[in-house]
Amino acid sequence: MQTLGEFKLPHFFNYPPYFTLQPVKDTREKQIQLWKELILDYCRTQKIFVVGLDEDFLLFSNPVIERSLSHEAREAFLSALVSEGRAEWLDKSHKRCLILWHRIQDWADLIISFVKDNGLEDSVMTVEEMRSGVESRGTELHGMDRTILMRALKHLEHKGKLVIFKGTSADDEGIKFSL
């Protein structure tokens, strides 16, 4: 079986029609579903948060069979993810796409369990600490996209689980948990 780095590719990745946007409705719906699953799987294992349409995203071309997705097809598959809440466009021209292999709600749950696991229920820490600090090492939070992290934190703030405040340094924010 073919691999992409450490990622194991399904057999149909070598099926040439997989790389042509199918015009027939039923076939196309199935094709889109297969692409959505593959993109989410790949991004989750490779910790990819942002996919640029015009950038070299390894999944979008297959040198073995010399096929690559057209711009239209890329946009169609990512749009399908967006419409399901599994991705968000980062710009109006649909050039960059934020992939949510965990939904915001799921990310928020992960943060809660991280806080509980580390006994931080009433503590204060910065956003950057959460992304790259010692505590988060080995968890899914480590190295996560800042945009997504902020969205998840805002979600929790809205629920009254924490408060976000301006920190001492200009480019970082503090979090006060109150679980």
Partner 1 sequence: MAGDFLPAAELTASGRPVLKSGEVECSLLSAVDLLSEELPTFPHLKSGLVILTTHRLLWLPPETGTHTKSSCFVPLSAIQHIFSAKKSIKSMFHSPRIRFQVSTTSDGKVTERGGLKSAVITLIVRGKTDPDSFLGKLWDAWRGRAWEASGSESGSQSGDGEGSTSGSLALRPPVVGVAGILRKEQEMWESTDKSLQDAFQDLNALMSKAKEMVMLAEKMRLKLLSGSNNQTSGTNDDEMGTKEEMHDWLLSVGIVSPVTKESAGALYHQQLSRQLADFVKIPLERAGGMINLIDIYCLFNRARGTELISPDDLLQACSLWEKFDVSVMLRKFDSGVMVIQSKSHSDDEVFTRIRSLVMKPEALQNGVSASDAAMTLGVAPAMAKEYLLAAEGKGLLCRDVSPDGFRFYINLFLELNPEDIYLVRDHSRYSTWIRAVSSS
Residues forming the site for partner 1 (CB under 8 A): 8, 10-12, 14-17, 19-20, 22-24, 26-27, 30-31, 33-34, 36-38, 41, 66-67
3-state secondary structure of 41: helix
Which pair of structure tokens corresponds to residue 89?
Answer: 């466009």
- Residue number, 69 or 149, with CB nearest to partner 1: 69
Residue 127 CA to residue 151 CA, distance in Å, equals 12
Identity of the residue numbered 57: F
The helix (H) or strand (E) run that includes residue 68 is strand 67-68
- Residue number, 25 or 92, with CB nearest to partner 1: 25
**Tokens 């600090």 belong to residue:** 133
Closest separation in Å from C-beta 52 to partner 1: 23
Closest separation in Å from C-beta 5 to partner 1: 17
- Residue number, 38 or 148, with CB nearest to partner 1: 38
